[in-house]
Amino acid sequence: MKAEKIRNLTAVELKHQELDLADQLFKLKFQMNMGQTESLKKIRGLRRDIARVQTIRREQELAVHKTEKK
């Protein structure tokens, strides 16, 4: 998922996206532990997508607090 696409989402959509990605990550890890899949590439990608969403959520929070102080 591209950062530009994530930046266009609202705070509620970002939270929903983060929960969805975390759920996907959990399912993949579970499958991997059960020996059903070996998709390390997908797991790594999901972890990075979650980090991107969290980073952009934090940037938006800081932007809101910065505008409130002015």
Contact 28, 43 (CB under 8 A): yes
pLDDT digits 0-9 by tens, 27-61: 999 999 998 878 889 999 999 999 999 999 999 99
Q: Does the pLDDT at position 69 exceed 90?
A: no
DSSP state of 34: T
Task: Give me the residue spans of the domains in the chain.
Answer: 3-69
Lowest pLDDT segment from 16-20, 23-27, 66-70? 66-70
pLDDT digits 0-9 by tens, 57-68: 999 999 888 888
Give ∠ CA 23-44-61 in degrees, rounded to 5. 65
Q: What is the DSSP string of 7-66?
A: HTS-HHHHHHHHHHHHHHHHHHHHHHHTTS---HHHHHHHHHHHHHHHHHHHHHHHHHHH
Query: pTM of the predicted model, to two decimals?
Result: 0.86
pLDDT for the residue numbered 70 = 65
Question: Hey, what CATH class is 3-69 in?
Answer: mainly alpha
